[in-house]
Amino acid sequence: MYVFTLCMCLLLLVSLLGSALSVPLDIDDDVTRNVNYENYLLPGESYPTFYDVRLLLNPDVTDSFSGNVTIRIVPRRTTNQIVLQAMEMQIHTIRLTRSDSVQQNLFLSFVHERDDTHFLTINSNTPLVMGLTYIVDISYTSKFAENMFGVYISTYEEPGVGTQRLITSQLQPTFARRAFPCYDEPAYKAVFRTTIYAPPAYPVVRSNMPERTDLLKPEIPRYRKFEFQDTLMMSSYLLAYLVSKFEYVTNEASPLYNVPFRVYSRPGTQNTATFALDFGQRNMIALENYTQFTYAFPKMDKAAVPDFAAGAMENWGLVIYREVALLVRDGITTTNTKQNIGRIICHENVHMWFGNEVSPTTWTYTWLNEGFANFFENFATDLVLPEWRMMDQFVLLLQNVFQNDAVLGVNPMTHPVFTPSQIIGTFNAVAYQKSGSVIRMMQHFLTPEVFRRGLVIYLRNNSRRAVTPPDLYTALQQALNESSHSIPWPLATVLDRWTNQGGFPVLTVRRSAPGAQSIYVSQERFLTNRQLSSNYRWHVPINWVLSTNADFSNTSPQGWVPPSFPAVSFDIPGLSNADWYIVNKQQTGYYRVNYDVENWQALARVLNSSHQTIHVLNRAQIVDDSFNLARNGRLNYVHAFEISRYLVQEADYIPWASANTALSYLDIVLSGSDVYDLFKTYMLELSTPLYERLGFSSQLPEEHVTAYHRNIVLDIHCRLGNQHCVNRSQELLEQFRNDPSQRLNPDVQTTVFCSGLRGGDVNNFNFLWNQYLASTDSSEQSILLNALGCTSNAERRDFYLNQVISETSAVRDQDRHSVIVSVINSSPENMEEALDFVIEHFAAIQPRVQGLTGTTNILNAFARRLTTRQHSTKIETFISRHQSIFTAGELAAIGAIQENIAASIAWSDQNYATVSSWLNDNFRSNANALTSSLLILISLFIAVYNM
């Protein structure tokens, strides 16, 4: 009966829309293609100008939906074929006519490929003439996507009501073809008209445009009709659909922004949407002012859905978010989550210009979308909320992506991709964080004024077009030519190497002589594994600061290092009088810097005596560079350790965040070694003043980033054995267990929960797991998922890992990778168990985590923690078992794991003795003294808490 009902609806829709065929269909289902990668691209024999899409969407019919699309197409050359794309659908009828002769059906046959080209080839019975307009009308039934890519059903629990369903979509990058047959590549822009038929029980139906008043389409019994206005010219991946019982908050009563702005979410959550409504409007105003380009659509909807593969998607006029990326609940949402929400809202707003107005011709140039969105998500958030220090935090993002970009096999920013798997794989750290970092460097070497002017030209010249990088370079070059600023080469020459080569350089800087007025600078590619080599070189902008004039404000280049092998000399007046110098002011350049030993020693002296002389971002740079250069064998660890001594005086979060990341590697490789206790002593000594100052409680008002700083310090102390930290965490967890209504400070929950779980207490795990099951707040669920992996109880850990693959798991697909990542990051012992679990169950894990980045997030977590020959052997086993199912993104992540393991094995051979010697020389005698000081500190804390 169910199938019968669906077919009757489809036939009714088809007959009402006049799509009946007068000739039989000729369907060749057995044809498959054996093609080269280039043949995944549409052949381009024709292009669309207009789509009329009609969808019958019923959330209570959960396997498929029916649809009809009418496409107005124009042949680029005389042809007998039209080639477009369709996926996971059954084609029922096709009609092909000339626009000026709609009675004559030119359709002959069609072939729908069963491979991953997804080509739908329509053959005509007469040649289609170049330049004339034709109408293709297709009726079909399509499957709802089970992996959140395409049109899919999501569910949520509504208190007092039960399970509720909704329909939404994720069509980027290659899944518009799952919604309707189309030219599903970003270069094929067209106007889209959408009509959705939905049951009356689902009254909130939205698409990209407002509903139209001049209704055109027929009614369908038992369904409500929603006809939407025609879009502007746009790519197919930017379409979106929402069929729901959602409610919304709106700006219509008191708009900050002059466009209707709504935030849709589950009933009862509207009070959590106020931040998104307020910040979203103010951010759009800031972006319009910066780009000098008005947002083009007549509305802006944002919708928070429970299940969503990505964090959010920039569909023009209807942006879809995962709930945790949009809704803020006071007392529950952490500072970090709230910042991420602001950042993601800004990211999607930026796409209204970079991606929607101007799109890449193919996903080979994904960075033209995501790199700009990554840069501006920080820059334009900073325009609205400067107290968040987003552009200071950008340096941490840059340092983090260095780790991904320091392997030989990493892809460049411009990365040719053709298959759907390759295309999804290109949405990675290179397309986002590296590209954003290179764009930030470009802003500084062009100067902010030229950069902004160039982007204004870029958007105006290319509105509603699809572009390649030279279109961007042309606009920026025009702005540069019209300014008083200059660089030594055409901009395209400079950027071609940054975008077409993987990796980044390390500059080696030396004084010509002790009393000289010049430096020599050479470059080579920085690779974590120095046993590997690459001849890649770049045009590198540099600037410098001398101790005699410590002004870090002007970040424009004072010179350039060309892509040649010999060292380049730079004259620096006054250098002979300087005690120290620093290259790369505010770390605006995307590269590392290595100095002569004398300069490293001088930098250690000034940091330990008067660290505020040096800009906070360069303090972070010096710490990060020194430890990574030492890890890489380019610098003796003694110099990195001597620099790090100053951290005991450092009160700012940014350098401490750099140090925490850099020192985490030592925490991993020294774990289990003879000097690990000394290393823990060293870390505790550096951070004890901060532990005493920050504690577990926030002292309002405090700086936005202090919450992050507190977490670093508490994690160090609770994890590395400060018994006061452990005891206090246990007390706080016990209080929460006794009275869950008295919630902890959300910013310290992960640390408190982890500390309570590390002891292996089954009751703590079960309590927190039940809290997860009972929670309907996505932010709270995220905290609990990240903490539960800390359990040291073997049975509970196995239970938790199996939530990833269990058919009855309570964890949503989009969150399941977080289970494994939390176990990996919690302790060396848990990481080993997680590795064995992934090796054993990868085939089951792969389809059960969200498909965009789920498995690569897991593999990237391993890449930062696997260090031994035993790990190398396990990875070889992993590859041999599962190599037939790896995606392009997974293969790249596995390559990074192998390179990093090889580098870590070499590290032990080359550096352990030096690190061991330094720790023994400096902390063997200090260990007992530090223990005494911590005991005194504990007593003071106990006294305070008992007052």
pLDDT over 80 at 930, yes or no: no
Residue 377 has which token pair? 């998500």
Q: Which CATH class is domain 247-357?
A: mainly alpha
Which is nearest to 861 in space by CA: 823, 809, 910?
823
Active site positions, annotated: 348
Whether the ω angle into residue 173 lies within 30 degrees of 0, i.e. cis, is: yes
Flag whether 717 is marked binding: no
In which band, very low, low, confident or very high, does the pLDDT at 947 lie, cut at 50, 70 and 90? very low
How far is 128 from 101, CA to CA, in rounded Å?
Answer: 13
Write the CB contacts of 129 (distance below 8 Å, at least 6 apart in sequence). 75, 78
pLDDT (tens digit per residue) in 569-598: 999 999 999 999 999 999 999 999 999 999
How far is 786 from 825, CA to CA, in rounded Å?
Answer: 9
Give mean pLDDT, residues 851-868. Answer: 86
pLDDT (tens digit per residue) in 272-317: 999 999 999 999 999 999 999 999 999 999 999 999 988 899 999 9
Which is nearest to 438 in space by CA: 370, 349, 346, 388?
370
Which amino acid does the sequence have at 24?
Answer: P
10 Å Cβ neighbour count for 775?
Answer: 15
pLDDT of residue 852: 62
pLDDT over 70 at 422, yes or no: yes
Q: How many residues make up the chain in this entry?
A: 947
Between 15 and 386, where is the model more confident?
386
Please give the backbone phi and psi of residue 407, each rounded to the nearest 5 degrees, phi first.
-115, 150
Residue 293 has which token pair? 């380009």
Q: Is residue 205 within 8 Å of residue 226, measured between CB atoms?
A: yes
pLDDT of residue 851: 63
**Cα distance between the two ends of the chain:** 72
In which band, very low, low, confident or very high, does the pLDDT at 11 lie, cut at 50, 70 and 90? very low
Count Cβ neighbours within 10 Å for each residue of 385-421 and write b for 16 or more, e otherwise: beebbbbbbbbbbbbbbbbbbbbbebbbbbbebbbbb
Q: Identify the H or E element spanning 895.
A: helix 888-923
Helix 469-481 to helix 435-446 angle (10° resolution) is 20
Domain 360-500 matching CATH 1.10.390.10: the answer reads yes
Residue 674 has which token pair? 């003879």
Give the percent of the chain with pLDDT over 70: 94
pLDDT over 80 at 115, yes or no: yes
How far is 797 from 787, CA to CA, in rounded Å?
Answer: 12
Which amino acid does the sequence have at 229?
Answer: Q
Q: Which CATH class is domain 44-244?
A: mainly beta
Geometric angle at alpha carbon 734, from 728 and 737, rounded to 5°: 145
Flag whether 387 is marked binding: no
pLDDT over 90 at 445, yes or no: yes
pLDDT over 50 at 527, yes or no: yes
CATH no. of 793-946: 1.25.50.20
pLDDT of residue 186: 98
10 Å Cβ neighbour count for 844?
Answer: 12
Q: Where in the chain is the domain with CATH 1.25.50.20?
A: 793-946
pLDDT of residue 926: 53
pLDDT of residue 288: 98
Residue 349 has which token pair? 């707003």
HSE-CB for 280 with a 13 A CA cutoff: 33
pLDDT of residue 929: 47
Q: Is residue 914 within 8 Å of residue 638, measured between CB atoms?
A: yes
Q: Where in the chain is the domain with CATH 1.10.390.10?
A: 247-357, 360-500
pLDDT of residue 512: 86
How far is 891 from 876, CA to CA, in rounded Å?
Answer: 13
Give mean pLDDT, residues 401-419. Answer: 95
Which amino acid does the sequence have at 580?
Answer: W
Give mean pLDDT, residues 436-440. Answer: 98
How far is 739 from 932, CA to CA, in rounded Å?
Answer: 35
How far is 908 from 891, CA to CA, in rounded Å?
Answer: 26
pLDDT of residue 513: 83
Please give the backbone phi and psi of residue 193, each rounded to the nearest 5 degrees, phi first.
-115, 130
pLDDT (tens digit per residue) in 197-229: 999 999 999 999 999 999 999 999 999 999 999
Least-confidence region, from 524-538, 643-657, 899-913, 919-933: 919-933
pLDDT of residue 938: 47
Instruction: Using alpha carbons, list the distances in angstroms from residue 739 to 733, 744, 764.
Output: 10, 11, 14
Q: Where in the chain is the domain with CATH 2.60.40.1730?
A: 44-244
How far is 117 from 43, CA to CA, in rounded Å?
Answer: 12
Give mean pLDDT, residues 833-862. Answer: 89
Write the CB contacts of 915 (distance below 8 Å, at least 6 apart in sequence). 637, 666, 670, 675
In which band, very low, low, confident or very high, does the pLDDT at 932 lie, cut at 50, 70 and 90? very low
Q: Computed over its alpha carbons, how large is the radius of gyration of the chain? A: 29
pLDDT (tens digit per residue) in 735-774: 999 998 888 999 999 999 999 898 888 999 999 999 999 9
Local structure of 149: helix, strand or coil: coil
Quote the strand ranges of 550-673, DSSP E.
559-561, 568-571, 581-583, 592-595
Flag whether 351 is marked binding: yes
